A and B are shown apart, each in its own frame.
Chain A
Amino acid sequence: MISINGLYKQFGQLEVLKGIDLNVEKGKVVVVIGPSGSGKTTMLRCLNVLETPTKGVISIESQQLDFSKAVSKKNIASFRRLTGMVFQNYNLFPHKTALENVMEGPVIVKGESKVAARKKAQSLLEKVGLGDKIDYYPAQLSGGQQQRVGIARALAMEPEVMLFDEPTSALDPELVGEVLKVMKDLAGEGMTMIVVTHEMRFARDVADEVIFMDGGVIVERNKPEEIFTNPKEERTRKFLNMIQ
Chain B
Amino acid sequence: MVKMYLNSIFTDPERTAKLIEIAKNSLQPLLEGAIMNTIPLTIISFIVGIILAVLTALARISSVKIFQIIARVYVSAIRGTPLLVQLFIIFYGLPNIGIIINPFLSAVIGFSLSVGAYASEIIRAAILSIPKGQWEAGYSIGMTYSQALKRIILPQAAKVSIPPLSNSFISLVKDTSLASVVLVTEMFRRAQEITAANYEFLLVYSEAALIYWVICFFLSIIQGFLEKRLDRYVS
A residues contacting B by CB (< 8 A) are: 48, 50, 73, 77-78, 80-81, 83-85, 87, 89, 91-96, 104-105, 108-110, 137-140, 153-154, 156-157
Contacts and interface: CB of A to CB of B under 8 A. Distances in A.
B5 interface: no
Interface string B124-163: 0000000101101101111111010001100110010000
A54 B180 CA distance: 60
Contacts of A139: 233-235
Contacts of A87: 133, 136-137, 140
A85 B142 contact: no
Contacts of B136: 50, 85, 87, 91
Given A87-B137, A105-B143, 14 more contacts: A48-B140, A50-B140, A78-B142, A80-B139, A80-B140, A87-B136, A91-B137, A95-B155, A104-B141, A108-B147, A110-B142, A137-B232, A156-B141, A157-B141
Interface of B: 131, 133-134, 136-137, 139-145, 147, 151-152, 155-156, 159, 232-235
B142 to A, nearest CB: 4
B144 A73 contact: yes
B151 A104 contact: yes
A59 B128 CA distance: 33
A108 B235 contact: no
Nearest to B136: A50
A53 to B, nearest CB: 16
Contacts of A81: 142
B142 A109 contact: yes
B140 A108 contact: no
Nearest to A109: B142
B233 A137 contact: yes
Given A94-B156, A95-B155, A109-B147, A84 B140 contact: yes
A86 to B, nearest CB: 9
B137 to A, nearest CB: 4
B125 to A, nearest CB: 18
A73 B155 CA distance: 24
A87 B144 CA distance: 19
Contacts of B134: 91, 93
A2 to B, nearest CB: 16
A197 B137 CA distance: 19
B139 A153 contact: no
22 contacts: A48-B139, A50-B139, A73-B145, A80-B139, A80-B142, A81-B142, A87-B133, A91-B133, A91-B134, A92-B137, A94-B156, A95-B156, A96-B233, A104-B151, A108-B143, A108-B147, A108-B151, A138-B233, A139-B234, A140-B235, A156-B141, A157-B141
Contacts of B155: 95
A14 B89 CA distance: 53
Among A87, A95, A96, A104, the most chain B Cβ lie within 10 Å of the Cβ of A95
Given A108-B147, A108-B151, A94 B233 contact: yes
A131 to B, nearest CB: 20
Closest A-B pairs by Cβ, 7 of them: A105-B141, A91-B137, A85-B140, A91-B133, A137-B233, A109-B142, A81-B142
Given A104-B151, A139-B233, A139-B234, A93 B137 contact: yes
Nearest to A92: B137
Contacts of B139: 48, 50, 80
A81 B142 CA distance: 5
Contacts of A48: 139-140
B234 A154 contact: no
A73 B156 CA distance: 25
B227 to A, nearest CB: 14
Contacts of A96: 233
Nearest to A83: B140
A191 B155 CA distance: 34
Contacts of A84: 140-141
B25 to A, nearest CB: 50
B233 A77 contact: no
A50 B140 CA distance: 8
A91 B145 CA distance: 17
Contacts of B156: 94-95
A206 to B, nearest CB: 22
Contact of A109 (B131, B143, B233): B143
B137 A77 contact: no
B183 to A, nearest CB: 45
